Amino acid sequence: MSKESDEPSEGPRISGVKIDKGDVFIGTKNQYSFNFEAPKINPQAILILVEQYKNIDCKSEEFRSIKDELEEYDKPRPARDIIGLANKLKAGGREDLLDEATACKDKFAKRLSRYEFSTHHAAIHLNLLSRIEEKFNSLIVPMIKNEESSTVIDLAISQLIILPLADEVAPADATLTPKQIRGMMFLLTGNCYLNWHIK
């Protein structure tokens, strides 16, 4: 019979394994909770918006107002330094998002151009862009200021902005996917309407 050695054995070792209420995990188990509920969706509101704008004349003053607002979102915000999407994300320490952010932003930019003169699409785009701006600045910026982890921030963005808005708009336009909504967020980021870095 060989004597057991107190020396560590050769080969791979697993450490930090813990069990919590039946869950087995390695390292630290993080559970995220929010002090607010995900917003309730109201698909009827978007359907009413589509009905209201689908037959207006694209030369009307009403449509011109929508176009003016959309054009503001589609170019850099006045009185802000123009540093672009890549530099905005780098300043916020979110280089990990750069490839996805660029792809999503470009995808939505193509859509915005394609439906430039579609009255109800323009109305939907303006509605969503303005709501993303408001939700990000009121819900996500405080989390950034509190130096929450990127995992928590990404989860909050998904649960409080991307998925609810995609679910809400789906009955009116199934092509406005979560990826398109995410593209809107990154378009707003690149044009300085959303800030991922708090000085």
pLDDT tens for 180-189 read 999 999 999 9
Average pLDDT score over residue span 153-166: 95
Task: Name the 3-class secondary structure at 186.
Answer: helix
Q: What is the mean pLDDT of the chain?
A: 85
Residues 56, 62 contacting (CB under 8 angstroms)? yes
End-to-end CA distance of the chain: 66
**Tokens representing residue 17 in the block:** 């394994």
Residues 172, 124 contacting (CB under 8 angstroms)? yes
15-19, 152-156, 173-177: range with lowest mean pLDDT: 15-19
Name the helix (H) or strand (E) containing 68.
Answer: helix 61-73
Average pLDDT score over residue span 121-125: 96
pLDDT score recorded for residue 82: 62
Angle at 131 between CA 127 and CA 137, to 5 degrees: 155
pLDDT in tens, 146-159: 999 999 999 999 99
Give Cβ neighbours of residue 114 (< 8 Å, ≥ 6 apart).
none
CA–CA distance from 51 to each of 25, 44, 131, 143, 160 (Å)? 51, 11, 20, 37, 26
